Structure 1
Amino acid sequence: MSLNKKNKQRRYIRYAIHLQALLVVGAHAKYECTILDFCTHGLLLKLSRPEADIPIAKSVTIEFSIDLEQVKEKYIVNAQVMHLTPNGVGVLIDNMPRSVFDALKSKTPPEVIIAAESAVNESFQTIIFKENFKHILLECLPELVRVFFEILPDETRALNQKRVCYENLSELDDLITTLKIQNNTLTSEFCHSIVDQIRFISESKSKNEDLTSFDRSLSLVEKEAFEDWLHISTVIRKLSNTYDDNVNKLTRELSRILGYYKLNINNPVSPAVLCDCFRELILQMDFDYKINDMLYTCFGKALYISLPAFYNKIDVFLARQVSAEKKISSLAGPSKQFSTPPPYQQQQQYVLDTTSELQTVIAPHNHNTGYKQVSIPHLAGKLMSLLNGTDFEHVKKVAPERVDPKTDTHQLFDKTDVIAAIRRLQQASETTDQHSESPGLANRLQEQLQPLDGHAKLMAPLNNESLQVYDKFFETLLNNHIVSADLTAFIENIQLALLALPMLGDDFLATDSHPAKNILNKISFFDQVLKSNRLLNKNNISEFLNNITHKIAHDAVGNPEMLADIEAELDAFKSQFIKPIESKTQHIVKVHEGQQRLEIARHTIQSEIDKRIAGKAVSTVIPLLLDAGWQHLLVFAELNQDTQAGVKEHYLKVIDDLMFWLYEQDSIVKMQASSIQTTITYVDEQLQAVGAPVQKRKHVIQELTELLIGIGQPKVRKAIQTVKIPRPKPDQETVLNEEHRYWDAMIEQLAVGDWLNIKHDSDDFESMKIIWIGTLPHVFVLLSADGLKNIELDKQNFIGLFQQGYAVSLDNMDVPLTDRTSNLMLQDMHDTIKFNAIHDADTHLILREEFVKQLKIEISKETAFQHVLCHIEILDFRLITNICGLDGSKQLLKTIATLLSDRIKSADILARLGDQSFAVLYKECSANDAFEFSRNLLKHIGSSQFTWNEKCFPITLSMGLVPVTGTSFDLSQLLQQADAASMEAEQSGPNQVKLFTGNNDNLQHQANLFEWMSRIDGVFAEERLFTRCQKITSLDTSVNHVHYEILLGIKDEDGNIIQADYFIPAVERCKRMPEIDIWVINAVFDWIESNKSQFDAIDGFAINLSGQSINSQEFLDFLQTKLDTCLFQADKIVFEITETIASENLTFTKKFIKAIKQYGCKFSLDDFGSGYSSYAYLKNMDVDYLKIDGAFVKDIANNPADFAIVKSMNEIAHSLNLQTIAEYIENDEINEIIKAIGVDYGQGYFIHKPIPLADLIIAPPEKDLFYFEDNSFWDI
């Protein structure tokens, strides 16, 4: 049977998904399962219990739930079992309801939408690459088909024995013969269909909708087509699981070569593409679907055999290709229109992002894909629920079902109620001046709604959440100096009108382009313009803004379609100011581009001249010639090489010829007199053309004539006079101090488009934007926001402005106002959550854990100053609690906290350690000074009294002091010593202070530290360091991901493993941490080279780097060299940097990460939450993982504040497409809570205890699972 292009069978499109479900068989048997793939008429399931006994052809039901519009929808679908393996089931759905299919499809990964590039717009480099790629595929692909035909006879006979497709073996032989006859045709068609996919590498190939009718029964033909889909889907899934790493590596290479991000690449040689193309050819031959199944299995085994060599050849080819610049693509996640869109959306097709439960939105489908985009309002709503404390109990018990507002509409305010209330508020605001200083809009709107109809009504849950989020958004915008006071008034005018939009279902902040959002962003443009003192028409701007905001305030509520017209009006008015700014920017850039081209040309020509004469004694006529205009001619020729090819080389040859003739013998010169005269005439003509001064030109021509032709009769050459041409001075390396080095590195990080607040030649600061950075000369050109002032600074002057505080980096003013406000709003929410987690609710002082962290940071700083730790105990706390009750005791704590805070220095650190104890770190303070200060503090507090319910109590405390120095590394012991001193003071009476005097321990600590400092070399020389590893694994059991963190181990002289309590601090004190990091990297890379098969079986290693290494150019050079020469996948190496190190040295950290990421390595931000934890800072850090500080994890089962901050960090990380890791998972309860929060990976003793790296053994997968002829192939 031949290939038949006209006879096309139905093809069902395969959609990948990962959704928990329940398979119900009969009345009682229920099996947990996961939906892996689906099409319009069936599902491919993975059973949680492989031993499930389910008969073929049995009628079953599938139950699953999907979060749609924040309401959990439950679906029950009738199906029939069509295929069964030990842990996998293929089920047929005879009449798939459209609603079920759409719900499933809404949970698939988002399609990548990329603007298709025509061949005309592709770069020449891309066109050449694609052609070469086609050639290499046409060379390699036939081997895949050859292997298929080679194994075809034996495999089909073996499969036929199991499935009995042919009872008569002669018919099977006829099939094999038929296929072999078609060998050449099949091979050619297969190869060209794969090669054709190259066209779509960087273009969207969206899945077409299945051409089927829903809610009806299938015909026999359609059922067979479903069987066909089921078989090829299972083959694809098996191959994809096996060769996932290979395919990902090729995809990364294609991403590098084409300049698109990995998610935007359609890999043309993935197992799915190879199998789909093969399937297309087989379907054209009209075999029975059972025969197709047999051929698919045979082809799957052929690919399993041949893909390693095939992928290796493709990898070698791709590795030789050059990289392209990254292209900015338009990524769009799933989106939908409003169910009843406003008129302006019907006209202009404004599309809103889908919002659903955040946990669903952010959950990864596997560890290689990113997260779906989360809308800002939805993320803010989740953070608000954390702030309200509504989420903690949900992980401790089953959460109640969410109430669908549609079921209780009679109890809810409708849109008419909301519009009427907002209009009343608008009127009230105009008469009573109720703006941002008044109570929150949410409260005011609630007050307006309550009296309606005299009946108790509720606001719909979604509306209530929207109200809270948008109220917070406007509060952030108006109260945080994001815009000036002038602009604040205009935004306040439209605040209520815009608030009405989300209340009516128009969630404008969740939309990429929405008139309301665009209006806010465009109004903000005038903020900087209004600040200018150079504009003459500021009144016109204010009048215009007043008019349009008045229109919005009075007409937009209930009439949102007018916003599109107002946006157009804003565009037209704004263009009057934008066009002059753009024109001036283009002019300035063009001028500096020309200057830079000229300087580069001058530099190039000077280098050419220096090659010929620098450091030599040459005839004086050569410098005369260059000065007369010849060097100018060379510069012009360099500038015009595109149109005057070869001219520069000809001008340089003139110099070479003249220098040759000047030093040649007279006899040789006479023989070439004609050529010499021609050259001199040419020089004269060219100097005239360039406009050389007449006297200089004549003098040069005369000198050349006398030196080369001679004077008199007979001609006698003039004697040569020489001059020594100095060599160019080498660039002197400026020795920079630490401060100057910091500013120098920061200046190097600046880029065109950055905004700064600059004070230059005036008394006032002004916002200015960098519009040009030159390399030769190294200058920075900045333009004011109004476009009327520009300044030019060289690097040293720029650094001077930063050092004096006259230059300060600003948030990017080109980032839309709504984005800047949203970022700040999310940051404020996260900061509040973090504050609650680390501060005492009664006193607002930091808690013990945070105090210990800050104490550790202070000790680690290399400073000559000493600190003193003070422990404070309340002596009569229990007595007062018994008399005054809990409320009284809380007030006592607040009183003492206030008394302490008012007296200590602002730099000192005050904390609440326990029920009745405080601690203070007196920073940069001697023991004597701390003792005297504490005595005075006790006198002050002792003179105060605590009053409660008209009863007065004296405040009695005891204080214990202990000095803290750079050698005080045992924090627990420090706290114990301060506590002991406090107890000793208590025994002396009330309000006493004691200094800890057990100096033997301190001396012993210092002795131990100094001893280790002297033993560092011995540890290296005696090879007493070793590497350990601890597993980091996915908390989602359906995701197969395991990598290991590398830890440092140390042995004593007898080979016993010991703690590194003093070794690491000693190394840090000696500034030798880069040596440790280098040793660890060498050890890990050596292990990988010696254990390649085991390394291939895991997802990589995470290696910690110290701050000293991050800031070391020598370490960076070492690591780059190491990565250049490694023979394994560098993308399986993760480098961990602590948040504290990264935030304190942000400029150097970003530079380091950028350099190492070029090799494919990943980065993890360790101990997140222990430092600044900035949302904006995270957005600018190019890291892949966020590792949540274990201090917030270890007590999460008992501490709602820890739960809130972990969930907040997880939500924010996922919204930024970062994967999260939780450490310190010590038991099953913590593990389950962390899983419920949605953290991606876990680490801790409950998961895996550290072991020596040398003992790490990775069990290979069971071999029989990879044999396609065995039924275990169908195990999913």
Structure 2
Amino acid sequence: MAAIAHSFPQHLSATRPSLDPYGHLLRMLMPRAVGIAFYDADGKPMWVADGYEGPDPLPLVRAALSDVPPATTARIDGFSQDHEGAPAYVFRLRDSDGNVIAVATLLTRDIENHPYSFVQHLVQPALECLQRELEARNSLGELSRDLRARDDDLNLLLRITPDEADGAPQGDELGTLVQACVDHLGCALGALVVPERNIAICRAPAGQKPQVEILSRIHRHLLNWAQLQRRNLTINRVRARPVELPPFKILSTPIRHASGRVVGFLALFREEAGDDFEPRSEQLVELLARKTTTILQNNFDALTALLTRPAFETQVRALVASRRQTVPDSVLYLDVDRLHVVNDNFGLHVGDELLARIAELLRRKPRPGALVARIAGDRFGVFLPDCTLDFAQQIADMIRRQCAELSGSRGDGMMQVSVSIGVAELPDTQNPLAHGLANAEIACKAAKDRGRDRVELFQDADQSIMRRHSDVLVVKRLHEALEEDRFVLYAQPILPLGPAHTEPRFELLLRMLAPDGEVLPPEKFLSAAERYQMLPVIDRWVVGHALAALRPHAGVLRGRGLSFSINVSGPSLAAEDFLEFLEGSIRSSGLPPEALCFELTETAAVSNLTRADRLMQRIRLLGCSFALDDFGTGLSSLAYLKALPVSVLKIDGSFVRDAGINQRTEAMVRAIAQLAHTMGMETVAEYVETDELRTRMAGLGVDFGQGFAIGRPVPLEEVLGDLALYEVMAAR
């Protein structure tokens, strides 16, 4: 006969004291009981009375747990039976949901076999106290586990979020997010699929190879579910498993565009023997899906679905830095030929459609691991890892031919499509991508010089490219101009197009002075400044000198409604310390903040949406205003407008010039003006070059105009010296 004492683990003694009172109470209520023990819902002993060496009650416990009757309102039920020649009584203790939380056994050597109901009535008070104690313990344990789980969830969210909420992503942020899901939730596989962004990421636990075939079997079904049902899918148990459904537990949640449209899914897979996906896991994955939406919004161009330039540069740097050995890399710089002709002849919407179709060609990834970005406007960049210059030339020529095949009839005309492509190897320098892109751009411009629709390599022996390379000398002149303070600020008036009297406004424009005193327009130096990351330094010069020039006129500006606009570039917006510099400069200037307006281009604002919003909110608290420059250059402009606290929309000059001859463009300008007025914003038409355009913009509801028909740029010191003159002009 097995002794019960041998069936209890040694660690039991640590938990006995807290249950001793209930055991002693049962012994007092039933003195003839010689074996009293408590077991948990898994059949593991929690407490046993001292000194008992009789039959082992474990078979009784197993019977009690294997054949559990349906729950009733009673919290205690059980049975009695003969156990190795003596009466035994078994009691199930249930929680408020009817689940068994413990089993109590009473073994006796009494020659009298009392009915179960008699014994239960006798020990009921002690069992009820024990049931309440264990249920309270379970509740506290569940609460503790839930708190630990939530702490773990919070740690996960913090781990996949940069130190600053608007910090630039470091490398493969989406891959890091999927890997964190797999590790944190104990999954066999995690997958992120966004077809229109050409994203398909699979991750497995560390040290294991992802089972991609699982995703291959089911990804279309998961995508269809996400797009049609637009809600989560949780599969923990399946009675009849279809062939397409892999033997895994699945949690899939939709990935949405900023507009709410479903564009993909984030799915997690657990082994069938693993834990079920609980509501907490579902809520966590929903949060990570929203984080994914933010990453997609910040890192991908809205029109073409390609990487933005900052995201492109970040990912290339991370890829190159992660290598163990050096391999040759190449980069392509692609420029669409005569896109302005397409826009003029067929409308801006056709030009945007063409850019999207070229982007679709580039998204096919001409080489494994290639990264593609929309650099700006009609220009694209392609990074080709582990690719020699000769092979990159072949890839570039293939892309050129594919783009040419997009030519065809459009309405009553023929749309000719061609691209010029420059190819360069990444040099072994401190910033190889920036220098490689600059060299590829030089080669691309040489391709345009030589007739367009061609591919050119960057080679030092090529004299025409060497002439292009001389543009690098502009950077040296820029540094000299900064050191010698050879920049000057001009101001161009922005005046109302209607009869209402409004105080004059001005946009501050930058000019560079050559050593001989020649005034150089921005076209001569800004592209080189952007290419070699000098815009943040130049922006600081502009802010500092503009505020210093306006400071003596603070009294005139205060309460008058006069305002001066200062441009902020995309690189400055992305710089870590620019916001603090700008905020500190405004506070220390002594100027009325309402006299200052800051202009951000739509491309810069959308590419750095989080940073743009943060900068605007902080500077608006000081009393300054913001204008969104070049508005309308992308079809997605309106999707982001509600997220940016701007006061003025500056309608891009391409719309303004086209409005007089294109009814569709005219309708778009009118719609922008109406939308701006509805949202409490003002509108400015840029590049108003003729009186006809000035009249036309006024007729379309645009509030202000800027351009040669309004007023030419003049040195800022002249404007400050004669503000009364501009007040008269504004009152016309």
Calculate the TM-score normalised by the size of structure 2.
Answer: 0.46
Higher helix share: 1
Calculate the TM-score normalised by the size of structure 1.
Answer: 0.28
Higher strand share: 2
